[in-house]
Amino acid sequence: MTLNKEQEIYGIPVLDDNIIWIWSKGGKATVIDPAISEPVIKFLRDKNLILDTIFQTHHHNDHIGGTTKLMVQWPQVKVIASIKEKKRIPFQNTSVTDGQKITVLNTTFKVIELIGHTISHIAFYSDEFENPVLFVGDTLFSAGCGRIFEGTHAEMFASLQKISSLPQNTKIYCAHEYTKNNLLWALNLHPNDNLLKEKLNEVNKKIAKNKLTIPTTLEEEKKINLFLRAKNVDEFSYLRANKDIWV
């Protein structure tokens, strides 16, 4: 057996519907948005991985809640977050800006600022995987998008356009498992949409097997995500407002 371990991306479901993504490579790991620390510590110990880096997409507690405890276990860890969030993510030790390239575990990522859910939300994109990879936080969900807490509808629409312009085969790692709920909402608006119906079937099968429905791909989302299908800000705003009041 060679010691040259292949890389892998694992999803750990935590809390009600958060997913903590862990990318392992060569005995080291990068964790994306650790909502809590315990399951991450257990996972890394079980797999004998050293925590190298934490990516923070934004300041919400269900994304940063576990970080300081992980920093105690792995004091060398790089915590990468937006330079605009030095107050709300005070423990960051590597601050980044929109468009900046960073190298993590010998892999280059580009920081993409996606304003809307918060005023400084960022995503991490790399085309140095088999398929390009996007850790998108709470900006895009499968069949949905993040709530607009701090930005404007126009900013969120522009952020979704940025995502749309990435390669079609980009794998999108969202921070929440909301897919089924989002599809039920979309089907409520478009009851005869066959793409949505097929997707719901697929998602129900995965859920029955206790599997995550994410990652998704950009190609897939362009078919089934009403927010990505929206042609302009007005259409997007109508959808977002409609979803905001849908249970």
Q: Which residues bind Fe ion (CB under 5 A)?
A: 62, 138
- Looking at beta carbons only, is 49 or 80 nearer to Zn ion? 80
Query: Under rule CB under 5 A, which residues in 208-237 are in contact with Zn ion?
Result: none
- Looking at beta carbons only, is 33 or 52 nearer to Zn ion? 33
| Preceding peptide of 215 cis, ω within 30° | yes
Q: Which residues pair with 54 in a beta bridge?
A: 31, 79
First to last CA, the chain: 51
**Interface with Zn ion (CB under 5 A), residue from 33, 85, 138, 220:** 138
- Looking at beta carbons only, is 52 or 138 nearer to Zn ion? 138
- Looking at beta carbons only, is 111 or 175 nearer to Zn ion? 175
**Interface with Zn ion (CB under 5 A), residue from 25, 28, 60, 199:** 60
Q: How far is the CB of 63 from Fe ion (least distance, A)?
A: 6
144: enclosing H helix or E strand:
strand 144-145
Q: How far is the CB of 132 from Fe ion (least distance, A)?
A: 23
Q: How far is the CB of 33 from Zn ion (least distance, A)?
A: 9
The residue among 4, 8, 50, 55 whose CA lies nearest residue 34 is: 55
Backbone angles phi, psi at 171, to 5 degrees: -85, 130
The residue among 43, 37, 39 whose CA lies nearest residue 24 is: 43
Q: Token pair of 228, please?
A: 């990505």
Given the rule CB under 5 A, which residues bind Zn ion? 60, 138
